[in-house]
Structure 1
């Protein structure tokens, strides 16, 4: 055995004897025959793993999705411009201008295609290189495992397997259970720090005909209804709707296959008609603002019956305190409905609170009952939308056609307000007409100028 692999430990052990022996010590020599631990190999593995993490990030992996969505938008614009050129009958007066616009659109599409090709090629190369690095890391770690004489790694893997099995059992147990009722601010999700996406972005089967509407999932579904999605379009003057359309899954919604329609009334607008785009589904019932009243309506999807409860007499309705931006307003949005982990809320304003936002819990009984109420200092006409997460109200405002900002929060547990959140949502269309949070998947469901969109909330 070479000298470098021999570890010599000299131990001096004083002997305690019945008779003292002067000047005598016992010397033991211990030799470690094992190979020295290759610290340099482990250090190289750590460096390689760090480099892989730096090369592959969630931001980079979403770049392709963003480019594809941008390409879809450009192609759509090109189709519209070509269609406009075909319809022109002006003795070629504007043909040159139209052709120039189309030429610019084609140039931008080509630029996006070039970027997409470069990005795809780079990621393919990155994927190959990373796969090689991971195989090398795996081989080195297998080699290093022989130094694990106490079998720590084996026991750690076994613990990880048991944890995975436990989480799988929990998921199966909770698969058909309603979301737990939690006190405000106690969801265990942490602070909201970002919004990613869009994760889903698609036109409905109605095309661009109806720019106001709402969609999503039941936040507290009945057993076997967990995968259903609902959709409401305001088919009369972008203000009123009289039926709810349901789909068995997101795929059938996107493809427009096999819908089931539940009619609240026979026509628009009339008693019990849905008024405004702000509504939610909870416990197999749709909550919305009833036609021409300051009432919260509850439509039971099974019995097809409507019950209601009135807001205070000074509450705004019929465009008294609507959402808006830049001097414009979103028609008949005086009442906004929201769901979170603990139930349903209605968000509105009143003259008694100087047009500022009021939050009221809606008890989901039949008929519904107004519960606890919170008053804020946020003026409602400065807001484009609101939603609730874990008992915290969030408000958005219009920045430009591409960006919406979540700028405000109100915690119903502490009554604490914050005006400087600065969390940005990347929009694919200009106006967000409906926005709600689903506590089951932590997604924001958006209806934006006839498009249905989802964004994922990132918690700290």
Structure 2
């Protein structure tokens, strides 16, 4: 037997534990959600300033003293909201500065500690690993230099925006000019407007049993819509409901035409806002309509929402379900010719009754579900380019009211237009 004497100092495990604890605190304090706070505030500020500029231009055009006074009041409210956003931005910037100084000091301290701990690496494992990693990176770099770059393409799942990471807002919220009488409806802008109609907004309130509509109301600006001044009504039919009038609250405006579910049919209706001509195209005969495959959650069913019309950067889609696809969501591209025709179709594994709404961004379908009275969650996506599905998104939308009857994305301003229990609301999508 003999005694073993270790001449090296003991390994300072307490120091290593301290570094691990500090690193964990850094990870908790600097999250990806926190790093997007500043971006969301800046985007919101940009949006409100643009809206303020539009309102000032409209005020300069006004002839009526009464209307000018009301417009001026709206501008005052816009100023107050912009000031509030600026205050939040300043507070967030200060917090970021404090976090930056604190994190820099912690990182420097961790770096010094790790340099000391490396002295215990007698077998030079860490150094060898670094050398191997550098060699690997060099080889990879050489391969990339040798490879010829493919021509740039715009993928439907990207559009140059990056991955959607959050929903900011609400940015705009107001009771409709109809008041609380019509809790079901839809609103938004023409995604592909004619020249001169870029600032117009449209609104449809479902008047008969909260299910049917037979005319579209248009406003020249957002201000006139919020005030309910100067609407122009375009009638699809003189009576309601009747052949080819609107059924359900899911509809969109694209290239001066309204797309919606034809009354009592498994068909898509295209209503030309100028000529008032109606063209229809039928979906498969086993397509759900009249509340066969509506949006729903455990507490309620959104009646007559079998078909959802959505827009993105490339045009119009119809979202529906059929018995042959077991009630799962189907996506079909609608070519906006006259009459409209159907193009490519994608089949998903998402059962339609498990979602409360859908919208499309850059060729990616997103579905929402009801969490509680205050939160709606974007939980699902389907990329039409890669056919990849995800059920783990967990992006929350803070609701103004309990139910969302209509939801659509406008690629012109990256806003979600929402109709929620007689309120018209907008949210801003935040991308990486």
TM-score normalized by structure 2? 0.66
Q: Distance in 2 between matches of 1:277 and 1:344?
A: 16
Report the equivalent of 1:265.
Answer: 237
Following TM superposition, by how much is the alpha carbon of 1:414 offset from its aligned partner in structure 2, in angstroms? 0.5
- The match for 2:329 is 357
Contact 1:212-1:449 at 8 Å conserved across structures: yes
- The verdict on how the C-alpha distance between 1:346 and 1:62 changes in structure 2, with shifts beyond 3 A counting, is closer
Larger radius of gyration: 1
Match of 1:190 in 2: 162
Instruction: Output the CA distance in 1 between the equivalents of 2:213 and 2:396.
Output: 31
Following superposition, the deviation at residue 327 of structure 1 comes to 4.3
Preserved contact between residue 154 and residue 160 of structure 2 (Cα < 8 Å): no
CA gap of 1:415–1:206, structure 2 versus 1, over 3 A, is same
1:185 CA drift (Å): 2.1
Match of 1:318 among 264, 282, 290: 290
Equivalent residue number for residue 306 of structure 1:
278
How far the C-alpha of 1:388 sits from its partner, in A, is: 0.3
Unaligned runs of 5+ in 2: 1-33, 45-79, 98-152
- Report the Cα offset of residue 199 of structure 1: 0.2
Counterparts of 1:390 and 1:60 in 2: how far apart (Å)?
23
Report the counterpart of residue 269 of structure 2 in structure 1. Answer: 297
Choose which of 339, 359, 364 in structure 2 pairs with 1:387: 359
Query: What corresponds to 2:314 in structure 1?
Result: 342
1:342–1:331 distance in 2 versus 1, CA, 3 Å: same
Which residue of structure 2 aligns with residue 136 of structure 1? none
Q: In the alignment, which residue of structure 2 is the partner of 1:411?
A: 383
Asked whether the 8 Å contact 1:298–1:306 carries over to 2, the reply is: yes
User: Aligned residue for 2:422?
Assistant: 450
Instruction: After TM superposition, give the deviation of residue 61 of structure 1 in Å.
Output: 9.2
- Structure 2: how far apart are the matches of 1:344 and 1:61? 30
Q: How many equivalent residue pairs?
A: 303
Q: What is the rounded CA distance, in whole Å, between the counterparts of 1:61 and 1:372 in structure 2?
A: 38
Question: For residues 370 and 290 of structure 2, what CA distance do their matches in structure 1 show?
Answer: 22
Distance 1:415 1:435 in 2: 23
Equivalence for 2:21: none
Residues 182 and 341, structure 1, Cα contact 8 Å, conserved in 2: no
The aligned runs of 1:43-122 (5 Å cut-off) are: 57=38
Which residue number corresponds to residue 429 of structure 1? 401
Aligned to 1:399: 371
Q: Give the alignment of 1:12-31 within 5 angstroms.
A: none
Distance 1:58 1:297 in 2: 39
Whole-Å Cα distance in 1 between the matches of residues 211 and 369 of structure 2?
21
Q: Is 1:200–2:172 an aligned residue pair?
A: yes
Please tell me whether residue 253 in structure 1 is matched to residue 225 in structure 2: yes
Residues 311 and 456 of structure 1: is their aligned pair in 2 closer, same or farther, counting only changes over 3 Å?
Answer: same
Q: Distance in 1 between matches of 2:321 and 2:154?
A: 26
Residues 395 and 406 of structure 1 are in contact (CA less than 8 Å); yes or no, is this contact kept in structure 2? Answer: yes
Report the Cα distance in structure 1 between the residues aligned to 2:161 and 2:180, rounded to whole angstroms: 36
Counterpart Cα distance in 2 of 1:231 and 1:182: 33
- Are residues 1:225 and 2:206 paired? no
Paired position in structure 2 for 1:148: none
Partner of 1:331: 303
- Checking the alignment, whether the CA contact within 8 Å between 2:40 and 2:168 is kept in structure 1 is no
1:183–1:342 contact (8 Å) kept in structure 2: no
Counterpart in the other structure of 1:85: none
2:43 and 2:418 mapped to 1: Cα distance? 19
**Does the CA-based 8 Å contact 1:195-1:457 persist in structure 2?**
yes
Contact 1:182 1:342 in 2 (8 A): no
- How much has 1:123 moved relative to structure 2? 4.6
Tell me the CA shift for residue 204 of structure 1. Answer: 1.1
Q: Cα offset for 1:244?
A: 0.3
Choose which of 204, 211, 220 in structure 2 pairs with 1:239.
211
Matched, 1:209 2:151: no
The answer (yes or no) to whether the contact 2:40–2:430 under 8 Å persists in 1 is no
Aligned 8 A contact 2:246 2:263 in 1:
yes
Give distance in 2, aligned partners of 1:316 and 1:376: 16
Match of 1:143 in 2: none
Q: Structure 1's 59 and 301: CA in aligned 2 closer, same or farther, altered over 3 A?
A: closer
Q: 2:259 aligns with which of 275, 279, 287?
A: 287
- Deviation, 1:184, is 2.1
Aligned partner of residue 347 in structure 1, secondary structure: strand
Which segment drifts farther, 184-193 or 328-337?
184-193
